[in-house]
A and B are shown apart, each in its own frame.
Chain A
Amino acid sequence: MTGTIDPTVVNLVVFVLAVFVGYHVIWNVTPALHTPLMSVTNAISSVIIVGAVLAAGPSEVDFGSAMGAVAVALASVNVAGGFLVTKRMLEMFKKKPKAEKK
């Protein structure tokens, strides 16, 4: 047991734990909200924008950073669209003040 842990192993640890967390959290989501769940997970998966920003980052613009900038734009569509459409849908599930109660 000497030496440092390889980053890939650390990544694997994070990955497996995150899958478990995801599994348990998602089973608790009420079926009525499965469509907002999809749109919000869509927005969350566009956190890939982080990778896109890193790709577009270098001070010298080259082929790679141009690809990165396009990826930033694509992911931004999802970030904004995903969260906003989720918000719009969730507003509809708001209890209306005059709604009849059984």
Chain B
Amino acid sequence: MSANLVALWYLTASVCFILALKGLSSPESARRGNVLGIAGMTIAVVTTLAIVAKGRLDLILVAMVIGGMIGAFVSRRVEMTQMPELVAAMHSLVGMAAVLIAVAVVNNPGAFGEHDPLPRGNRFELFVGSFVGAVTFSGSVIAFGKLAGLGKKFRLFSSAPVTFKGQHPLNLLLAIVMIGFGLAFFLAGGKGWTPFIVMLGIAFALGVLIIIPIGGADMPVVISMLNSYSGWAAAGIGFSLNNTMLIIAGSLVGSSGAILSYIMCKAMNRSFFSVILGGFGAAEGTAAAGTADKTVRSGSAEDAAFLLSNAESVVIVPGYGLAVARAQHAVKEMAQKLIAKGVSVRYAIHPVAGRMPGHMNVLLAEAEVPYDQVVEMEDINGEFGNTDVVLVLGANDVVNPLAHQKGSPIYGMPIIEANKARTVLVNKRSMAAGYAGLDNPLFYMDKTMMVFGDAKKVVEDMVKALD
């Protein structure tokens, strides 16, 4: 195949990828988009196989079949609550692949149609691609461990931030040393193995050190950020191989991850740098709220069911607690019962509900909640004044009215304005504070009734009471 033809096929594949992403603007077009994405990938892979047709196709095909089978197996088995772990694991694979390709380029630039020894311009690009890839790999492994709850066995994977004295200066020092070795690789006469390998080693260590201080609450940002890195790594490798396919696809993914990180940071009212510098979420579940002098009204699931069935409009605010308790199916059943009684039921979703962007929407979709009942925060906030009952399930900070109070630590954070509804029902396991470690005035309002207990148990009791 001529180089021009290859470039045109790559262009076709790139257009497919862009259309695949464009399709995600609505659930109907998204499935067609995914098919186009698969088509784009097929075109890209077949085109590339044609380039190496005279080489070891057998080796490549065996590797593809093995990898493909593992991927297909995992994609079938994974639970929707485990999506964040899966995505983190997949980011690490992209990062590692980028590193391995970079190693192969250093080993034999001729195989990629490059000059041997590698020209300096390509070395610079290779340096960028491989260090981003290495950071993506080790960072994603740590993120995976934190999300999968491996912290009990290995302290490194603790979902609480792992911090130590001099952490930031150490990271900075390592980054400088890494760039130093990158420079040595750039200037090296021969292949430059020694500086290249040392640089990679430091990059792997940096990936670990960057992610360990970030707490469990900030995971949506971390996953989005690693998503972005995996794209930039692909783009970097594309630069060093002069491969437009990799550059285009990598940039699409890179900007996607960057935008998601931005959206997540904004929804948590945190600056990107404060997330990266870490240490947040240390108070996770431990900060005892000063509740002694305030009274809460608590009620049973039956009381709650009575209030719900007499309402005209109900808005359910699901939080991560709902996902942990795997209560989404029970919630759907309850909603159906209410709808059958003529109650209008909708779900209000905060952007950071769940552990990754859009996680709660997927969990509700899995429970077969029709997506036209699921409303994003900014679209529903204006309607709480006309809502009879708000049912908050396992959410806390995202409905905390302190966000409207100047001087509070979460001032300015966008919240679901549940406090404006006529009656507020809150299900929580206990009065413990949320990730932000703050007390929530919503719980002490006269119109609020607390229903304590595991979300699934409570909702199932409500379903029974509704019969």
Instruction: Determine whether B177 belongs to the interface, using a CB cutoff of 8 Å to chain A.
Output: no
A26 to B22 CA separation, bound complex (whole angstroms): 7
CB neighbours (8 Å) of B20 from chain A are 40, 44
Chain A, Cβ-Cβ closest to B356: A35
Query: Which residues of B50-74 have CB atoms within 8 Å of chain A's CB atoms?
Result: 51-52, 54-56, 59-60, 62-72, 74
Chain B nearest CB: distance from A9 CB in Å? 10
Question: Across the interface, do A85 and B251 meet the contact criterion of CB distance under 8 Å?
Answer: no
CB neighbours (8 Å) of A50 from chain B are 44-45, 48, 243, 245-246
Q: A45-B231, A50-B48, A70-B100 are in contact. Are A75 and B67 (CB under 8 A)?
A: yes
Question: Across the interface, do A36 and B251 meet the contact criterion of CB distance under 8 Å?
Answer: no
* Chain A proximity mask over B61-102: 1 for CB below 8 Å, otherwise 0: 011111111111011101010010011001101101110110
Instruction: Determine whether A99 belongs to the interface, using a CB cutoff of 8 Å to chain B.
Output: yes
Question: Across the interface, do A75 and B223 meet the contact criterion of CB distance under 8 Å?
Answer: no
Chain A, Cβ-Cβ closest to B20: A40
Instruction: Determine whether B158 belongs to the interface, using a CB cutoff of 8 Å to chain A.
Output: no
Chain A, Cβ-Cβ closest to B30: A90
Question: Across the interface, do A64 and B245 meet the contact criterion of CB distance under 8 Å?
Answer: no
* Chain B proximity mask over A63-95: 1 for CB below 8 Å, otherwise 0: 111011111111111111111111111111111
Chain B nearest CB: distance from A41 CB in Å? 4
Question: Across the interface, do A92 and B251 meet the contact criterion of CB distance under 8 Å?
Answer: no
Q: Which of B206-214, B256-264, B400-408 contacts A (4 or more CB under 8 A)?
A: B256-264
Number of A-B contacts (CB under 8 A): 385
Question: Across the interface, do B67 and A76 meet the contact criterion of CB distance under 8 Å?
Answer: yes
CB neighbours (8 Å) of A89 from chain B are 80, 83, 362, 365
Q: Which of B233-241, B410-418, B434-442, B455-463 contacts A (4 or more CB under 8 A)?
A: B233-241
Instruction: Determine whether B293 belongs to the interface, using a CB cutoff of 8 Å to chain A.
Output: no
Chain B, Cβ-Cβ closest to A79: B41
Instruction: Determine whether B368 belongs to the interface, using a CB cutoff of 8 Å to chain A.
Output: yes
CB neighbours (8 Å) of A10 from chain B are 244
Chain B, Cβ-Cβ closest to A76: B67
Instruction: Determine whether B2 belongs to the interface, using a CB cutoff of 8 Å to chain A.
Output: no
Q: Which of B103-111, B276-284, B389-397 contacts A (4 or more CB under 8 A)?
A: B103-111
5 smallest beta-carbon distances between A and B, as pairs: A76-B67, A34-B358, A57-B52, A81-B71, A80-B71
Report which A residues bind B (CB closer than 8 A): 7-8, 10-11, 14-15, 18-19, 21-23, 25-59, 61-65, 67-96, 99-102
Report which B residues bind A (CB closer than 8 A): 13-14, 17-18, 20-22, 24-27, 30-31, 33-34, 37-38, 40-41, 44-45, 48-49, 51-52, 54-56, 59-60, 62-72, 74-76, 78, 80, 83, 86-87, 90-91, 93-94, 96-98, 100-101, 103-105, 107-108, 111-112, 121, 125, 223-224, 227, 230-231, 233-235, 237-239, 241-257, 259-260, 263, 336, 339, 344, 349, 351, 356-359, 361-362, 365-366, 368, 370-374, 376
19 more A-B contacts (CB under 8 A) besides A48-B246, A49-B45, A91-B31?
A8-B125, A21-B252, A25-B18, A25-B252, A26-B255, A33-B24, A33-B30, A42-B87, A45-B249, A52-B101, A64-B108, A67-B107, A71-B101, A72-B67, A81-B86, A85-B75, A90-B30, A90-B34, A102-B372
For this complex, 8 residue pairs linking A to B, each with C-beta atoms less than 8 Å apart, are: A18-B252, A31-B263, A34-B260, A38-B223, A41-B257, A49-B44, A71-B96, A83-B41
